[in-house]
């Protein structure tokens, strides 16, 4: 994560340097683009009859005006600091419009009507490339995260926010190309709107996808409730679906309602919209990243060279037999163990891990050990860990067993598919490099259980998440107030 942050900071500094260098060394002239339909509403003729333009000569000097398809371009050469108007006159010398300009201390010409400035096209290109570079950096780090390193919060950030960066880059590309091809119709204000409204535009573009996701989540949760009793953890999918739908509906009402008011009231309204979108999109990207990472982790198959296979425990029946969920974990570990032995001849040590709950007749690890013995596994390769009370302790206490037998041995862990990624995160936090193997569960159980895992991942780091969210809100809030 630190390496990616350094690369992003480097890109930001490079962006600033490129923009400054382009402005100071390459661009001394700003070109005003006057649309063919000017303030009088009459289409300017293109038969060679030139309208007149003039401005205060001691502040700016005008170059040769040229007619293009639909607009008139007038080169502006700065002379000294100050403000002036570029006046457009008809062939009879009558004023039909004006273009307010300002020249800064460094000779930068600012177009107060279109928001343009000297070298603005180069800045647009640089900003567009910046977003694409950010997306590429995040995607590169995501695909580089392999093995135990994959199970990390940074992987969620890379997968989720690379989508946001890519979409923002594509939006900027559209604005940049439009500005280059039709500068009179696509002013810099369009670019400012795209930059400060990036979260809002991302939210609107992904609205259909999120609505479909919420609907699918709700359907799976309803089916779950038909098989399981109505407990709080069994309705989390419905709650998340409702929050997504309500959040999208509120955003739709905010973004599409008519507004009338002063300029500052408009800035405040725009800022509130962008701040709301920033909060929603942040959690949207975290959710997307969690789903992507969780699905990939559940489908992952470690290399057939493991020295240890930890089996994570959960509730079992009072008579000591394993329910489908726990049996699925043990069977998945057994399948891997047998396949590895057949292919390579290497016999991994099995570590069933789980302590004894208040309503359990024995430790979970003991129940799993008995099941393994009934499946023909030699007792000497089973080393039960019977003290752990949660997933972190599963990993931490199993790590001690691993180090006692073979400190450098390769380790895998078996759990239910929806639980693989979060278990891998706990393994990393416990200092145990391990890859996960996911046992299958029923389709209607998987989405709701996986959603619990996503919420659990965010809950573990809520302070860090809130700090980052506050920084993003501050950034986009200030940007909205400044750019309007």
124 and 107 housed in the same domain: no
pLDDT at 158: 92
Residue 39 has pLDDT above 60, yes or no: no
Instruction: Report the alpha-carbon distance of residue 348 to residue 410 in Å, rounded.
Output: 9
95-103, strands of its sheet edge to edge? 52-54, 82-89, 95-103, 109-111
- Look at 23 and 302; give whichever has higher pLDDT: 302
pLDDT at 192: 82
Mean pLDDT, to the nearest integer, of 362-383?
93
| Confidence band, pLDDT 50/70/90 cuts, at residue 40 | very low
**Contact between residue 416 and residue 441 where contact means Cβ atoms under 8 Å apart:** yes
Instruction: Report the alpha-carbon distance of residue 139 to residue 162 in Å, rounded.
Output: 6
Which among 191, 197, 198 has a CA at the least distance from the CA of 177? 191
| Confidence band, pLDDT 50/70/90 cuts, at residue 56 | low
Q: Measured in whole angstroms, how far is the alpha carbon of residue 80 from the centre of its chain?
A: 45
Q: Is 63 left (phi over 0), alpha (psi -120 to 50) or beta?
A: beta
161 and 256 housed in the same domain: yes
40-54, 100-114, 418-432, 436-450: range with highest mean pLDDT: 418-432
**Pick from 115-124, 159-168, 385-394: least confident:** 115-124
HEC letters along 119-176: CHHHHHHHHHHHHHHHHHHHHHHHHHCCHHHHCCHHHHHHHHHHHHHHHHHHHHHHHH
State the total domains in the chain.
Answer: 2
- Look at 30 and 481; give whichever has higher pLDDT: 30
Q: If you ran DSSP here, which 8-state letter would residue 204 be given? A: H
Beta bridge partners of 31: 75
Tell me the CATH number at 76: 2.60.40
**Pick from 94-103, 211-220, 432-441: least confident:** 94-103
285 and 243 housed in the same domain: yes
pLDDT at 306: 94
434-439, strands of its sheet edge to edge? 349-353, 308-312, 411-416, 434-439
125 and 228 housed in the same domain: yes
Q: If you ran DSSP here, which 8-state letter would residue 34 be given? A: E
In-domain check, residue 308: no
Question: Of 111, 140, 166, which closes a domain?
Answer: 111
Residue 148: HSE in the Cβ half-sphere, 13 Å Cα cutoff = 15
Instruction: Report the alpha-carbon distance of residue 207 to residue 370 in Å, rounded.
Output: 50
73 and 190 housed in the same domain: no
Question: Of 92, 111, 130, which closes a domain?
Answer: 111
- Look at 93 and 347; give whichever has higher pLDDT: 347
**Pick from 122-126, 325-329, 456-460: least confident:** 456-460
Mean pLDDT, to the nearest integer, of 93-111?
80
Q: What rounded mean pLDDT belongs to the chain?
A: 84
Q: Measured in whole angstroms, how far is the alpha carbon of residue 272 from the centre of its chain?
A: 21
pTM: 0.83
Instruction: Report the alpha-carbon distance of residue 113 to residue 86 in Å, rounded.
Output: 11
68 and 172 housed in the same domain: no
Mean pLDDT, to the nearest integer, of 139-154?
92
2-16, 224-238, 372-386: range with highest mean pLDDT: 372-386
39 and 134 housed in the same domain: no
Strand runs labelled E in 258-383: 308-312, 349-353
pLDDT at 64: 81
Backbone angles phi, psi at 71, to 5 degrees: -155, 165
In-domain check, residue 232: yes
pLDDT at 475: 74
pLDDT at 70: 66
Expressed as residue numbers, the domain containing 194 is 120-299+463-483
Instruction: Report the alpha-carbon distance of residue 99 to residue 73 in Å, rounded.
Output: 12
Instruction: Report the alpha-carbon distance of residue 399 to residue 402 in Å, rounded.
Output: 5
In-domain check, residue 154: yes
174 and 205 housed in the same domain: yes
445, 449, 450, 456 alpha-carbon torsion, rounded to 10°: 180
Cβ burial 25-54 (10 Å sphere, 16+ → b, else e): eebeebbbbbbbebeeeeebeeeeeebebe
Helix, strand, coil percentages (3-state) for the chain, rounded to 5, are: 60, 15, 25
- Look at 423 and 457; give whichever has higher pLDDT: 423
Q: Which pLDDT tens digit goes with each residue over 386-423?
A: 999 999 999 999 999 999 999 889 999 999 988 899 89
- Look at 133 and 30; give whichever has higher pLDDT: 133
In-domain check, residue 335: no
pLDDT at 442: 81
Mean pLDDT, to the nearest integer, of 260-281?
77
pLDDT at 296: 92
In-domain check, residue 398: no
Residue 269 has pLDDT above 80, yes or no: no
CB atoms within 10 A of CB 225: 17
Show the CA angle centred on residue 270, arms to residues 265 and 274, nearest 5°: 150
Question: Of 71, 94, 111, which closes a domain?
Answer: 111
In-domain check, residue 428: no
150 and 294 housed in the same domain: yes
134 and 36 housed in the same domain: no
183 and 46 housed in the same domain: no
In-domain check, residue 4: no
In-domain check, residue 58: yes
192 and 163 housed in the same domain: yes
**Contact between residue 62 and residue 55 where contact means Cβ atoms under 8 Å apart:** yes
| Confidence band, pLDDT 50/70/90 cuts, at residue 71 | confident
Residue 223 has pLDDT above 60, yes or no: yes
Number of residues that this document lists for the chain? 484
337-346, 355-364, 434-443: range with highest mean pLDDT: 337-346
- Look at 112 and 229; give whichever has higher pLDDT: 112
């Amino acid at each position: 994560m630190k390496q990616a942050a350094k690369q992003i900071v480097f890109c930001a500094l490079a962006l600033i340097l490129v923009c400054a260098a382009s402005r100071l060394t390459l661009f001394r002239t700003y070109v005003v683009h006057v649309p063919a339909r000017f303030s009088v509403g009459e289409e300017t003729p293109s038969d060679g009859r030139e309208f007149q333009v003039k401005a205060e000569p001691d502040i700016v000097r005008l170059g040769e005006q040229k007619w293009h398809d639909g607009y008139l371009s007038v080169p502006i050469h700065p002379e000294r600091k100050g403000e002036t108007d570029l006046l457009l006159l008809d062939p009879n010398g009558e004023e039909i419009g004006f273009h307010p300009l300002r020249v800064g201390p460094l000779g930068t010409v600012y177009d107060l009507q279109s928001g343009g400035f000297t070298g603005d096209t180069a800045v647009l290109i640089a900003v567009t490339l910046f977003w694409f570079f950010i997306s590429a950096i995040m995607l590169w780090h995501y695909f580089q995260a392999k093995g135990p390193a994959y199970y990390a919060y940074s992987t969620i950030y890379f997968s989720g926010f690379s989508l946001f960066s890519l979409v923002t880059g594509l939006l900027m590309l559209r604005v940049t190309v439009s500005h280059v091809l039709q500068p009179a119709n696509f002013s810099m204000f369009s670019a400012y709107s795209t930059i400060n409204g990036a979260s809002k535009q991302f939210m609107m573009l992904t609205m259909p996808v999120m609505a479909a996701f919420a609907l699918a989540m709700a359907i799976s949760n309803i089916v779950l409730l038909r098989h399981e009793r109505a407990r709080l953890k069994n309705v989390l999918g419905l709650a998340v679906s409702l929050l997504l739908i309500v959040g999208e509906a509120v955003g739709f009402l905010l973004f599409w309602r008519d507004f009338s008011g002063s300029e500052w009231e408009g800035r405040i309204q725009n800022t509130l919209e962008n701040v709301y979108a920033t909060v929603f999109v942040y959690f949207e990207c975290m959710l997307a990243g969690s789903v992507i990472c969780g699905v990939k982790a559940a489908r992952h198959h470690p290399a057939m060279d493991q020295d240890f296979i930890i089996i994570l425990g959960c509730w079992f029946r009072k008579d000591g037999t394993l329910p489908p969920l726990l049996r699925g974990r043990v069977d998945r570990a057994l399948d891997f163990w047998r396949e590895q032995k057949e292919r390579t001849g290497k016999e991994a040590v099995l570590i069933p891990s789980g302590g004894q709950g208040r309503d359990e007749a024995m430790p979970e690890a003991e129940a799993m050990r008995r099941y393994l013995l009934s499946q023909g596994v030699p007792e000497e390769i089973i080393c039960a860990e019977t003290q752990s009370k949660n997933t972190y302790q599963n990993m931490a206490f199993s790590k001690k067993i691993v180090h006692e037998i073979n400190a450098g041995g390769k380790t895998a862990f078996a759990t239910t598919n929806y639980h693989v990624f979060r278990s891998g995160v706990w393994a990393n936090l416990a200092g145990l490099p391990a890859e996960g193997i996911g046992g299958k569960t029923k389709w209607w159980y998987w989405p709701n259980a996986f959603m619990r895992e996503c919420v659990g991942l965010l809950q573990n780091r809520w302070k860090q998440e809130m700090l980052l969210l506050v920084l993003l809100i501050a950034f986009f809030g200030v940007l909205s107030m400044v750019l309007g």
